[in-house]
Amino acid sequence: MKVGSILHWFLAAQILSLYSVKGNSPKTDQGSTGVCSGIPGIPGTPGHNGLPGRDGLQGQKGSEGARGAKGDKGIVGKTGPKGKGEKGPKGSTGEPGPQGENGTFYSINWKQCVWNREDEKDTGLIQECVFEKRHSSSALKVTYAATTRVYCSSGSCCGRWYVTFNGAECSGPMAIDGVVFVDIHSNVHRPRQIEGFCENISSGLIRVAVHVGNCARFGTSNRSSGWNSVSRIMIEEYLQ
């Protein structure tokens, strides 16, 4: 059966039902007779869904919700490239720091004088070496190396080798010297070395010299310096 026929039939059944009801309603001006209503018709097929309606109005903003729990710490990211900021202004000079420990000496200037001869002087100047000292506050280290000997025919004897600066022995702190002592008939030639530091010497040309002389409480004896070997004076200037 077609949809149109069903609709026509359904409408007819509804009209008949309405008339039946109207006939059963009591009236005041005339008598009524009973009429039976008809059998309800078969429900019709549901219609198609209508088109979607238009969007409604936007609702009001809701209240802020409760703050959530703190999340886990994330992974540390990679270090970015080094920035190139502008150089800042020079800071002010700080207060002087505490005094440090005494430093070590270091050499800034040196000279060596060498010769190859035997000097048989018993007393007097053996060799002089001129040195240019650069700083008044520096110290000079002098080393004298040579083969020396002292000989005496009786008793015992002694010889003293010492260093002078411009004709005077060192007084800062003390003299630079060495002695050789022997008993009777000892004629041994041995290589020996005398060295030491001297301070409180002004800058400029310094005449550094090695002399031989008598020991305290001993007289003059037979002495020799530089026998059959090279002798040398080594001079070094040190700053602290």
Q: What is the pLDDT of residue 166?
A: 98
Rounded CA-CA distance 212/164 in Å is: 11
Look up tokens 């001129």; give the residue.
Answer: 130
Chain mean pLDDT for the chain? 85
Structure tokens at 205: 């040309």
Task: Please name which of 202, 212, 205, 199 lies closest in space to residue 142, comparing C-alpha atoms.
Answer: 199
pTM for this one?
Answer: 0.57
To 10 degrees, the CA torsion angle through 181, 186, 190, 193?
10
Q: How many secondary structure helices (H) and strands (E) does the chain include?
A: 1, 10
DSSP string, 166-188: TTEE--SS---EEEEEEETT---
Beta bridge partners of 126: none
CA 132 to chain centre: 41
List pLDDT tens digits, range 178-218: 999 999 888 899 999 999 999 999 999 999 999 999 999 99
List pLDDT tens digits, range 45-55: 888 888 887 88
Longest dimension (CA), the chain: 193
Report yes or no: 220 and 123 within 8 Å, Cβ to Cβ: yes
HSE toward the beta carbon, residue 229, CA cutoff 13 A? 15
Rounded CA-CA distance 225/147 in Å is: 6
Average of per-residue pLDDT across 121-131: 98
Upstream peptide bond of 173 is cis (omega within 30 degrees of 0)? yes
Residue 100 has pLDDT above 80, yes or no: no
Look up tokens 């006939």; give the residue.
Answer: 23
Q: What is the pLDDT of residue 111?
A: 97
* 56: confidence class by pLDDT, cuts 50, 70, 90: confident
Q: Which domains does the chain have, with CATH numbers?
A: 106-239 (2.60.120.1340)
Q: β-strand 222-225 against 204-214: which pairing, if any?
A: unpaired
In this predicted model, which residue has the larger pLDDT, 24 or 144? 144
Q: Which amino acid is at 57?
A: L
In this predicted model, which residue has the larger pLDDT, 123 or 54? 123
* 131: confidence class by pLDDT, cuts 50, 70, 90: very high
Range name among 20-29, 58-67, 229-238 with the lowest pLDDT average: 20-29
